[in-house]
């Protein structure tokens, strides 16, 4: 569903004006990596160099632009408008392709787009082209009358999305036959008129297309503010043991991705069969010159030790689902190493009694052996995730948990995957976003005193799944709520259990676009969704 571009511009401008900082930002290595990757994804032939307080962009013609790091504030503020505007561009490109399939030439279509945005396009001399264009718009949007209305505003009203500081009634200027029309709209929204403004729009687009970049930026402070209390800064100076916990889909792994990359981390996932020998390593048979021999095969812990010992930069051992195994047993004597000194090194050392493990360390990470005893290096951090709501988890004893820092990842997110559900609310069909649906369901589950760690996190579903939202509702979401969260009681607080007494009937009703939710849920969806009449459907 398309969004109101004028409203989005206003919201972005307010967001920018409310930023507490206007100074340059110190671009950390993590942020630099994500920013560079996003820019090169947009302009693969351009050269990007990122410094602590500036960004250097050189295009394929060798022309260079330097931007101050403060330009990132524009990306953080205006990326949402850029995302919404891109949706309109994609719709127009899709309809353009259809018109070409009907036999219209690029030149003819371009002559029509030269009149847009303004109502003059309806007076184009080729009346059949205008009629076919309108017809294809009707076909594209179908029953989504709200999006269709917004799209016609996009075509008719310049001031609605080429938004000046005050109403002008202007009908001339950059039109949709020009490739830079969208870029100009973004820069006008951002109130920017500078020589390098075209490159500034690239920064905004980079933020629009890259969620990890937005997340990494959201954890920064300006250069003159101390970073010492943030986890991202602590791990850059000394190692920690950190567990992120919360409901499914709250973004625990995304938290880790803000720190750990493929280059600086070793990753593993615990499961019910994970053992010490899997985690640390063990002697295994191998073929050498046609003969069977035995060698020590390192596990993720050993690989992380070697990586940290041979790299001065921060390194990470990432453990997903740490409580799906008996964690204390998997760690074994490594348990003792988890106590940290102020500089991040192990407070205590352990004797390496496994001769094969010791030999591996002596060969690959000898600096970690002090008088034959192993210590964790200061640049190695252990980062883990856990879902306390899962049914197949193992309890952690207090002594093990005491050696970790815990960060709760809230059920409420700043961002949600984009996608709408078509919900039958009785006399009408309503378009309801995932954000609205999940919040309404969570509110009812909370009133029924369902534990918070069983509620729906923002990223319980992905944007890919929301491309077919009805299938996701009939499958993953219904199964989780019906069989896991509400297995023993309170199904009626979410679902209309009189009409849908079984999961089979519930899924059947969803596929038929029937009424599946309780009256309370439906009333909330009515208040927060957007109607689509059954007659139009």
Lowest mean pLDDT, pick from 71-75, 107-111, 444-448:
71-75
- Whether 362 and 438 map to the same domain: the answer is no
261-276 burial code (b ≥16 CB/10 A, e <16): eeebbbbbebeeebeb
Neighbours of 343 (CB within 10 A): 9
Last residue of a domain, one of 374, 408, 442: 408
pLDDT above 80 (res 416)? yes
Give the chain's mean pLDDT.
83
The reported pTM is 0.53
State how far the Cα of 310 lies from the Cα of 289, in Å rounded to an integer. 30
- Whether 376 and 437 map to the same domain: the answer is no
pLDDT digits (tens, 9 = 90+) for 12-70: 888 887 775 445 677 887 888 888 888 888 888 888 888 877 888 887 777 777 777 87
- Whether 319 and 442 map to the same domain: the answer is no
- Whether 373 and 440 map to the same domain: the answer is no
224 occurs within a structural domain? no
At 106, list the tokens.
């690029």
223 occurs within a structural domain? no
At 422, list the tokens.
């078509």
- Whether 34 and 180 map to the same domain: the answer is yes
pLDDT at 391: 52
- Whether 51 and 195 map to the same domain: the answer is yes
- Whether 144 and 102 map to the same domain: the answer is yes
Lowest mean pLDDT, pick from 46-55, 299-308, 328-337, 385-394:
385-394
| Residue 189 near residue 160, CB atoms below 8 Å | no
State how far the Cα of 155 lies from the Cα of 143, in Å rounded to an integer. 19
pLDDT at 390: 54
Smallest CA-to-CA distance from 252 within 449, 389, 397 is with 389
**Structural domain of residue 161, as residue ranges?**
5-218
pLDDT at 537: 47
Last residue of a domain, one of 378, 408, 438: 408
pLDDT at 389: 59
23 occurs within a structural domain? yes
- Whether 235 and 265 map to the same domain: the answer is yes
| Residue 404 near residue 338, CB atoms below 8 Å | yes
- Whether 260 and 352 map to the same domain: the answer is yes
- Whether 94 and 167 map to the same domain: the answer is yes
Choice between 230 and 182, residue whose per-residue pLDDT is larger: 182
Q: Which residues are paired to 293 by β-bridges?
A: 286
27 occurs within a structural domain? yes
């Amino acid at each position: 569903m398309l969004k109101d571009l004028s409203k989005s511009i206003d919201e972005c401008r307010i967001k920018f004006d409310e930023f507490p900082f206007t100074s340059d930002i110190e671009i950390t290595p993590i942020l630099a990596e994500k920013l560079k990757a996003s820019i090169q994804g947009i302009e693969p032939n351009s050269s990007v160099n990122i410094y602590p307080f500036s960004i250097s962009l050189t295009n394929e013609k060798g022309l260079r632009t330097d931007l101050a790091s403060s330009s990132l504030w524009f990306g953080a503020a205006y990326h949402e408008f850029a995302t919404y505007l891109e949706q309109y561009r994609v719709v127009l490109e899709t309809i353009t392709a259809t018109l070409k399939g009907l036999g219209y030439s690029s030149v003819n279509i371009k002559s029509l787009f030269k009149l847009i945005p303004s109502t003059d396009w309806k007076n184009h001399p080729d009346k059949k082209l205008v009629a076919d264009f309108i017809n294809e718009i009707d076909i594209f949007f179908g029953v989504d009358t709200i999006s269709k209305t917004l799209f016609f505003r996009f075509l008719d009203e310049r001031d609605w999305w080429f938004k000046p500081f005050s109403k002008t009634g202007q009908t001339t200027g950059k039109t949709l036959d020009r490739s830079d029309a969208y870029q100009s709209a973004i820069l006008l929204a951002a109130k920017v008129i500078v020589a390098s403004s075209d490159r500034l729009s690239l920064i905004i687009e980079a933020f629009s297309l890259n969620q990890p970049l937005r997340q990494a930026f959201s954890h920064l402070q300006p250069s003159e503010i101390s970073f010492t209390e943030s986890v991202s800064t602590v791990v850059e100076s000394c190692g920690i043991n950190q567990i992120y916990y919360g409901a499914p889909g709250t973004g625990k792994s995304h938290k880790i991705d803000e720190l750990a990359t493929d280059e600086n981390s070793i990753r593993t996932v615990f499961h019910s069969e994970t053992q010490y020998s899997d985690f640390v390593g063990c002697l295994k048979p191998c073929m050498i010159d046609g003969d069977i021999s035995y060698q020590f095969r390192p596990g993720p812990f050993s690989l992380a030790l070697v990586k940290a010992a041979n790299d001065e930069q921060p390194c990470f051992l990432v453990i997903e689902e740490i409580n799906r195994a008996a964690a204390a047993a998997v760690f074994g004597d490594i348990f003792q190493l988890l106590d940290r000194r102020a500089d991040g090194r192990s407070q205590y050392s352990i004797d390496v009694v496994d001769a094969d493990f010791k030999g591996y360390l002596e060969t690959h990470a000898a600096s970690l052996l002090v008088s034959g005893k192993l210590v964790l290096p200061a640049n190695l951090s252990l980062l883990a995730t856990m879902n306390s709501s899962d049914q197949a988890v193992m309890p952690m004893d207090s002594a093990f948990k005491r050696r970790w820092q815990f960060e709760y990842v809230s059920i409420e997110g700043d961002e949600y995957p984009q996608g709408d559900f078509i919900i039958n609310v009785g006399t009408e069909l309503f378009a309801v976003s995932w954000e609205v649906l999940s919040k309404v369901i969570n509110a009812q589950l909370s009133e029924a005193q369902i534990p918070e760690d069983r509620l729906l996190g923002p990223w319980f579903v992905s944007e890919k799944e929301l491309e077919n939202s009805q299938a996701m509702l009939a499958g993953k979401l219904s199964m989780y709520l019906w069989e896991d969260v509400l297995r023993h009681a309170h199904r009626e607080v979410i679902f209309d259990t009189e009409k849908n007494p079984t999961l089979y009937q519930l899924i059947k009703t969803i596929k038929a676009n029937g009424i599946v939710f309780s009256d309370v849920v439906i009333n909330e969806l009515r208040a927060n969704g957007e109607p689509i009449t059954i007659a139009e459907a």
